[in-house]
Structure 1
Amino acid sequence: MSNRITVGLDGTEVGSAAADWAAHEAELRSADLELVHVEDWAQYGPFDVPLPEPRHQWAEDLLASTRDRLLREHTTLDISTRGPEGVAAATALASAAAGSDLLVLGSRGLGSVSGFLVGSTGSATIPETDTPVVLVRSVEGSDRRHGQVDDAGPVVLGVDLRSNCDRLLAFACEEADRRACPLVVVHGWSLPPVFSYAPVLDPGVVKEMADVLQARLGELLSPWVQKYPQLAIDARPVLGQPAIQVLDAASDAALVVVGRRIRRSALGPHIGPITHAVMHHAIAPVAIVAHD
């Protein structure tokens, strides 16, 4: 990795919120920050032609003004800009993120009930890159000023005990350690179908399964507890739909971390249903970490 964070800008409040979060994260990591604005060829037709001059100048002004603003608020950062043209936005953003530690994108808020809208560019970019992608929220009506990042609360990580969680745990532990905050690790589970109609017939079933999962979660976390002895890690195997349990634990989180299995085939979904639900409904920034 190049110790660099890349953030995509689109000229909206959503993009500004993403830039603010990325600048704060770059300071935590002592990393460089790269601002990227992509002009999607689909807006102008599938031909490699120059952009209309006013639009091109607008993009340059957006990158320059955002850089100037962030430098005033984060005087020690090294901030560069890039404006690739003539390719699909998702492809260009994924290419820009190659070698970066993070790619940061904005996600527009639709309200507490409707959740959030991860735009077509963001949804298309996530499967295109193995770089962790962070979606930063901007809620309409928020009184948060530019440069203000809410870093209170824990880092919340959703895990599936059937998957390889090493990349997720490494990312989540590092984020919690940087913020000196607790790490909450959630594994949501449900009773097997054979118990679904009458689990109350044996009240000990739920407790027995919870104890087994608590032990398995403890084994999973043991190396990370040793590696980060100063980090408070709260392991929670909880009964219920995994996405709902992660969202409930993340109600006051500084960051939510979920996984995305790397799929090389063009067929089939590239973002699982749990990650998809968390992406669209979590209030906190959401990090999607690709893993095998």
Structure 2
Amino acid sequence: MKRTLVVGVDGSPESRAAADWAAREAVRRDMHVHVVHAWLWQPLALAVVQDRGAEDRRAREILQETEAELGHRYPQLSLSVEVVADVPVPALLRAAKDAEMLVLGTRGHGALAGFLLGSYGQQLIASAECPVVSVRARGGKPVLGAAESEVVVGQQGAVEESARVLGFAFEAAAVRGVPLRAVRAWSLPPVYGYSPGSMWIAEQFGGLEPFEKAALDQALEPWRLRFPEVEVVAHVERGSAGHVLLSEASDAQLVVVGRRVGESPVGTRIGSVAHAVLHHSACPVAVVPHH
């Protein structure tokens, strides 16, 4: 049974771009694409004429149009479509529960919009159990980097923390046949964050930057062995993680970042680095949950 990739559509140019990107990715990875349109009849408490039958027909037309477009462009694609009677966030979270990836469309630069307006996109990215890819659209088509452009991944934390993020990025680079740029940013800790133990460890590597380089190499080592065909460029730089990653990904075709799973005191969040990259990256962004 093929792995499944889920994409949400609503007939907008942004969602059509997301569906096109999803189909390309599925062909690369030999995956099945499941296209979902979430629609729930909700009578308005306003003096507005509503036609439930017309809206239901339009929902099915959206899927028929998407299915026809993808089938024509990617005849080898394994594809299924579904209308889900629910509001978008819970519908797509259920559809993607056992999926390898969830793909959403976004509009231009700035806040997440696309087929999910308001906070829906952020809710999905913050809550999905699988990686979520945000695809920008221009003229109804996905914004893509050059075919030879790198995949860029942000690495943070210890080996175990970044394993799922790096695994996703290495596979993405492997199926594209392009180099992977692994980026780790660091900054000087606050004066109260220094401790004799932590500074002793850093000093064994000749300072903080060599220590950070060693940490990145250690995290990359098992994935380099698993994907020997992927050329890896390791980049360590002092600065804000979001700024460093965006700078290194200016010409990328995909950026991969992590999202720590767990409850925040102020609710579910996607993290400052993922938030920055989602709002300012010109290319598709994959947000991978990890513990």
Same fold (TM over 0.5): yes
Taking every aligned residue pair, what percent have the same amino acid on both sides?
Answer: 36
SS of 1:213's partner is helix
Q: How does 1:3-14 map to 2 (within 5 A)?
A: 3-14=3-14
Contact 1:2 1:101 in 2 (8 A): no
Rate the CA distance shift 1:70–1:149 in 2: closer, same or farther, 3 A. Answer: farther
CA distance, structure 1, for counterparts of residue 290 and residue 167 of structure 2: 11
Q: TM-score, normalised by structure 2?
A: 0.85
Partner of 1:192: 189
Counterpart position of 2:152: 156
The letter of the residue matching 1:208 is G
SS of match in other structure, 2:136: strand
* Alpha-carbon displacement from aligned partner over 1:50-81 (angstroms, at most 9, x marks no partner): 98111111110010011101111101112111
State the alpha-carbon separation in 1 of the partners of residues 265 and 38 from structure 2: 24
Q: Is the 8 A contact 1:161 1:187 kept in 2?
A: no
Instruction: Establish whether residue 18 from structure 1 lines up as the match of residue 14 from structure 2.
Output: no
In 2, are the aligned partners of 1:176 and 1:183 still within 8 Å (CA)? yes
Amino acid at match of 2:94: S
CA deviations 1:90-136 (Å, max 9, x no partner) are: 110010112111110001104xxxx3534422111122321110000
Give the 3-state SS of the residue equivalent to 2:262 in structure 1.
Answer: coil
Shift of 1:147: 7.9
Which residue of 2 is the match for residue 129 of structure 1? 128
Q: Superposed, which structure 2 residues align to 1:79-118 within 5 Å?
A: 79-85=79-85, 87-110=86-109, 115-118=110-113
Q: Distance in 1 between matches of 2:285 and 2:43?
A: 28
Q: Which amino acid aligns with 1:278?
A: V
**Conserved? CA contact 1:152–1:253, under 8 Å:** no
Per-residue deviation, 1:148: 8.5
1:28 match: 28
Q: 1:267 to 1:5 in 2, by over 3 A?
A: same
Q: What is the CA–CA distance in structure 2 between the aligned matches of 1:44 and 1:80, rounded to whole Å?
A: 31
Per-residue deviation at 1:287? 0.4
* TM-score in terms of structure 1 length: 0.84
Uncovered stretches (5+) of structure 2, i.e. residues with no partner: 193-202
Q: State whether residues 37 and 82 of structure 1, in contact with CA within 8 Å, keep that contact through their aligned partners in structure 2.
A: yes
Counterpart amino acid of 2:22?
A: A
Distance in 2, Cα, partners of 1:282 & 1:148: 11
CA drift at 1:88: 2.8
> C-alpha distance in 1, partners of 2:207/2:89?
46
Structure-1 separation of matches of 2:111 and 2:266 = 26
Map of 1:72 onto structure 2: 72
Instruction: Read off the aligned partner of 2:280 and give its amino acid letter.
Output: H
CA distance in 2, matches of 1:54, 1:266: 44
* Contact kept in structure 1, 2:16 and 2:141, CA below 8 Å: yes
RMSD: 2.5
The 8 Å contact of residues 9 and 37 in structure 1, kept in 2 or not, is answered as: yes
Q: 1:269: Cα distance to partner?
A: 3.8
Q: Hey, what's the Cα distance between the residues in 2 that align with 1:67 and 1:259?
A: 31
Shift, 1:270, TM fit: 2.3
Match of 2:173 in 1: 176
Number of equivalences = 269
Q: Partners in 1 of 2:40 and 2:185 — Cα distance?
A: 39
Cα contact 1:2–1:99 (8 A) shared by 2: no
Aligned to 1:277: 276
CA distance 1:147–1:280, change in 2 (3 Å)? closer
CA distance in 1, matches of 2:52, 2:42: 14
Q: How far off its partner does 1:34 sit? A: 1.1
5+ long unaligned stretches in structure 1 = 196-204
